[in-house]
Amino acid sequence: MVSRLPGAQTHHWDWQLEGSCRTVGSEVFFRPASEGRAEARRREEAAKRVCAGCPVRLECRRHALATREPYGVWGGLTEDERRALLVRREPEEVMPRAA
């Protein structure tokens, strides 16, 4: 008996192709080991500006929260902001309703 393997599930990741971050270096979104607090704040603010205008910001945020992404700015949230949302478990704050 021959069975066929299912095809790749790339549609789960297709949203990433539309991300505004694709034209920005990853160093804007991910903290280098030697980064100080003031530098981190500036870098995170720059990343959030990119995220603010991103057409897939909410999909990105959902992904980061669902997978408990431990590093970087995803969907406009830092790792600390995501951790706080997950601890509080307030769905309205995690995913605001669409207008």
Binding residues for [4Fe-4S] cluster: 21, 51, 54, 60
In the annotated binding site, the residues are 21, 51, 54, 60
DSSP-based three-state secondary structure for 36 = coil
Other beta carbons less than 10 A from residue 18's beta carbon:
12
Angle at 45 between CA 40 and CA 47, to 5 degrees: 95
Alpha-carbon dihedral angle through residues 10, 31, 44, 28, given to the nearest 10 degrees: -60
